[in-house]
Structure 1
Amino acid sequence: MSAQDDIAVVKRQEAELVLPAFDEAVAFDIGAAIRKRALEEGLSLVVDIRTWDRQLFFAATPGTSADNAEWVRRKVNSVKRFQRASYRLVLERGEEPFSVQSGADPADYVIAGGGFPIRVPGAGIIGALTISGLPGRKDHGVAVDALCDHLGRERSDFALPEASS
């Protein structure tokens, strides 16, 4: 699958994995499910779910560090500024840091997978679900899987294919 094919899949994920409503209870349900999966599968990750003005859920599993929370902060900033999944930025631009001329200081923004926009009908993108700790494509996949599960959608209908080595 080409990068253009992957971009089309991510755009579809962004357009269709829309939450009918979002509040503290929804954030907790999604976040707790991600944490449970991570513990069951031995995944070292951090999950952060937030609206633009406040964090609603945060959990870290064994093997993570403060660096993961810092990656989350920068991924969230990228999702908010560019209004798209941070993994789509990787596919569109590559993983080179933003240039100084872009105004997106690499200290505050990152091109790395794992940040996914939380979209609500009638409100648009209101926050982000962000994963850090795995390779970027897998971080992205964990977020997408969690939204599929919460929405009762089939994971395989939205999954990116395994990356070729």
Structure 2
Amino acid sequence: MPPTPAEDAAHILLQEQTLTLEQFDASVAWTLGSMLHAMAVERHYVLVIDIRRFGRPIQPLFYAALPGTTPDNARWARRKSNVVGRYHRSSYAVGLRLEAQGQTLTQRHALPASQYATHGGSFPIAVPAAGGVVGAITVSGLTSREDHELIVEALCRHLGHDYKALRLR
């Protein structure tokens, strides 16, 4: 039996609490982005990868658009990343919570859909020693759940965690 949205939401919280970094800089962004790129090419995925550090201004640290993507993929990535920047939660977790409430981000928080997307595929880059969420790692091109899980898999590889234990069921 497939998991319920509530079960996914609870498991995403565990993912977010577990998949934190000791540090985050351009070198780490390059390592994670390159890993995601290699995974996507190997699997013949058509997607965009965007890794950024939050602040004023936002600092893009890694970007790749695989063959077959369109400018819409880049816009989706930016909109999903904006959700992480605002709520410090994965875009998928925010979307599942709103879905359970029967609301959209526009209805609940008056945020424009042109700037925010609560679809899966953006995950917070949390560095506890730096005070929490400092950026986002985002992919766009697969389904919401697949975009989310690709990032989780890459973070597990990078951090040495067992992906089978942390993946969504």
TM-score bin (small chain): over 0.9
Match of 2:163 among 142, 155, 158: 155
Cα deviation digits, residues 94-149 of structure 1 (max 9, x gap): 29642256231111111100010000022200000001000010000011011000
Match of 1:110 among 114, 117, 131: 117
Aligned pair in 2 of structure 1 residues 139, 16: CA closer, same or farther (>3 Å)? same
Secondary structure (helix, strand or coil) at the match of 1:122 reads helix
> What is the aligned partner in structure 1 of residue 136 from structure 2?
128
Partner amino acid, structure 2, of 1:158: L
1:13-162 equivalence runs, <5 A: 13-52=15-54, 53-94=58-99, 97-99=104-106, 102-123=109-130, 124-161=132-169
Conserved 8 A contact 2:92-2:145? yes
TM-score normalized with structure 2 length: 0.91
CA distance in 2, matches of 1:122, 1:150: 18
Partner amino acid, structure 2, of 1:54: Q
CA distance in 1, matches of 2:15, 2:108: 30
For structure 2, the 5+ residue unaligned runs are none
Conserved 8 A contact 2:79-2:115? yes
Cα deviation digits, residues 48-96 of structure 1 (max 9, x gap): 0110120000011111111000001100111111110000012111296
Secondary structure (helix, strand or coil) at the match of 2:50 reads strand
Aligned pair in 2 of structure 1 residues 22, 101: CA closer, same or farther (>3 Å)? closer
Tell me the matched-pair count.
161
CA distance in 1, matches of 2:166, 2:108: 35
Aligned pair in 2 of structure 1 residues 96, 131: CA closer, same or farther (>3 Å)? farther
CA distance in 1, matches of 2:97, 2:108: 18
